[in-house]
Chains A and B, each alone.
Chain A
Amino acid sequence: MDLLRFATAGSVDDGKSTLIGRLLYDSKSIFEDQLLAMEESSRRRGDAVVNLALLTDGLKAEREQGITIDVAYRYFATPRRKFIIADTPGHIQYTRNMVTGASTADLAIILVDARKGVIEQTKRHAFVSNLLRIRHLVLAVNKMDLVDYSETVFNDIVSSFYDFASRLDDVADITPIPLSALNGDNVVEKSDKMPWYQGSSLLYHLETVYTGGTANHVDARFPVQWIIRPLSQEYHDFRGYAGRVAGGVFKPGDAVSVLPSGFSTKIKKIHLPGGKEIGEAFPPQSVVMTLEDEIDISRGDMIVKANNPPKSSQDVEAMVCWFSQKPMEQRGKYLLRQTSRETKAIVQELRYQVDIETLHKKEGVPVLGMNDIGRISLRTANPLFHDSYRRNRLTGSFILVDPGTHETVAAGMIV
């Protein structure tokens, strides 16, 4: 069984809670036929009134109280896949939460109310998904029951979304699905109310969509996280480099070099956690490598294929989303974390801000405030070994930390 992580975004009252509730609820019945039987019988007795909204209550309560709305992670499984949903609030004042949820998702469901069609919020949700490099989008056109399940309404919404989506970068697929989350049309089962719709139900799509391409399997990158030195009788000379493969494929015997020292050697062995030897390691595996030569390596170094190094530089250009209530300062100094590295960084210049209502660039803005997105140039105290975020989400991303409060103040994607 494999794993799909997806994010959901929608405006208030588009039916996001209802949709997630339905997926959670209905997938349980798929998971266990015994459960189905139980529910059937209790329903016949009339005591199991299933309130779908209840399943996602947490976020609702927060909204009512007007307190900080967070990303909520939810879980369900079918016999085919396990799913992790990052349930993110859609409102503009929670852009940072959407960015957080999107950072680990491979697919985004963008929810639209069939009566309202594509609105500015929809575009912003698509923009944020795209900025975070979610390459698989589902355009879920909900509340089809309120527009008489009309094919024309659906087609108009889809075509206006495509018009806008042509401006997005590197999207692998967009799958529009007409739904009624409330009635369950096209959520788990295909609906007979929309015979004109040729595609599959939402759940079937989530179960079968191929997203294997999200991780980079080309450029071998291994940020060293921790050095394992048992100093025991049995493993007297063992010196293992533990970490999570961030790109490409590593095999024993591969010629590698170590950054920043530049020393070259070969991979001796690769072990899974617990010691099992493997013939190749790829993202997102956590492994331990041993090398042919004894080289001085510490946390924050990166092992790469000798013939394909990442960029190494103290100057980077990046898109950032600002998280903190305290605005980003020009020339502000922060701690930067990227892969297993930490270094000091200074904001050289704020090049422009993206107006997240209109998606236009605004130049000459003095600061980035909370939830703002913009492009900056940074200078770091030590070189960063990186790829563009577009090429590799793990070696192209970073966070900025306020050195005084230790708060995480921004998320960055290297251009």
Chain B
Amino acid sequence: MPNYQLDHLDHLEAEAVHILRETAAQFQNPALLFSGGKDSIVMAHLAAKAFWPAKIPFLLLHVDTGHNFQETLDYRDAFAEKLGARLVIGLVQDSIDKGRVKEEKGPYASRNKLQTVTLLDSIEEHKFDACLGGGRRDEEKARAKERFFSHRDEFGQWDPKNQRPELWNLFNGRYHPGEHFRVFPLSNFTEMDVWMYIQREKIELPSLYFSHEREVFERNGSLLAVSEFIPMLENEKPERKIVRFRTIGDITCTGAVASTASNLEEVIAEVAAARQTERGTRSDDKRSETAMEDRKREGYF
């Protein structure tokens, strides 16, 4: 009798592909939230595999704060083209111009929180009934309770106390008009699994993930990139350092780490040894103990 065992990455891939196909089957108009970060890249890669040899049956949606690294935007455009997927971009600037949101002021200003409104507006405008996100349960404690199929009410809100149970391979994506779902195919991946999967699949990543020389300054123990989007305080001094990013998001809240890991093997070794979770470099989570849960309730990614 052969031993019908799957390697854990094959197992995770099979599960994610199942979820992606289930999303295509249960929803009328799903979108894949693409940020240019490694998790959404892995998710899009899995989507391309799930529907082979057909194209991905989803639009890619990028909520652009206007404060992104140029590398991310270049990567995004090239990636969408390679997949042959249509990319739609929701601009936070538009939400500001329309007066839908108010820009934060001061040296700590970030458009991170404003993204929620732009995201929900994009969902309404395009009538998306499901948005695929690259969130993982090991990321953060509010995410740990997230379902694969996560229900959102007509205001886009998440109610962690009233979630649908998920058993076996059965997913319930039924909704009333105006409601939508967030779907998380990578729920059971850990940060390590994502890196190992990237290595196995030879997925190309934006260069920001690997060590490079950059002008940075220190704030609250994080290294932030020197950029026009973050005013520096008087006591903050720019310095050139060899750094890389562990997550990629809005410039104003994505911290770099000092690192010389210049290829995947070195990055993986670094991840394995890291004490701090990758979100430890995100100042958006540091705002309060329940920052993520609060943002998620309102409809954040």
Contact = CB atoms under 8 A, between A and B. Distances in A.
A124 interface: no
Interface stretch (B17-25, B71-79, B92-100): B17-25
A32 B163 CA distance: 36
A391 interface: no
A75 interface: yes
Q: Majority SS of interface residues in chain B?
A: loop
Interface in A221-247: 225-226, 228-232, 234-235, 238, 240, 242-244, 246
A97 to B, nearest CB: 8
Nearest to A274: B49
A82 B192 CA distance: 11
Interface in A74-89: 74-75, 77, 81-82, 84
Contacts of B160: 70
Q: How large is the interface on A (under 10, 10 to 19, 20 to 34, 35 or more residues)?
A: 35 or more
Across the A-B interface, the 4 shortest Cβ-Cβ residue pairs? A273-B49, A274-B49, A103-B167, A230-B54
Contact of A225 (B4, B12, B18, B167): B18
A100 B174 contact: no
Given A232-B53, A238-B53, A273-B50, A70 B145 contact: yes
Given A35-B273, A274-B49, A397 B144 contact: no
A394 B165 contact: no
Interface residues of B, number: 55
Given A38-B275, A285-B14, A73 B188 contact: yes
23 contacts: A2-B5, A35-B272, A35-B275, A70-B163, A73-B144, A73-B188, A75-B137, A75-B138, A75-B188, A77-B190, A82-B190, A103-B168, A217-B4, A242-B50, A244-B18, A273-B14, A275-B49, A286-B21, A286-B50, A299-B25, A401-B174, A406-B174, A408-B164
Contact of B188 (A84, A235, A274, A401): A84
Contacts, number: 159
A194 interface: no
Interface string B168-192: 1110101110000000000110101
Interface in A1-26: 1-3
Contacts of A35: 272-273, 275
A46 interface: no
B176 A406 contact: yes
Interface of A: 1-3, 31-32, 34-35, 38, 57-58, 67-68, 70, 72-75, 77, 81-82, 84, 96-97, 99-100, 103-104, 212, 215, 217, 225-226, 228-232, 234-235, 238, 240, 242-244, 246, 249, 271, 273-275, 282-286, 288, 299, 323, 335, 337-340, 393-394, 397-399, 401, 406-408, 411
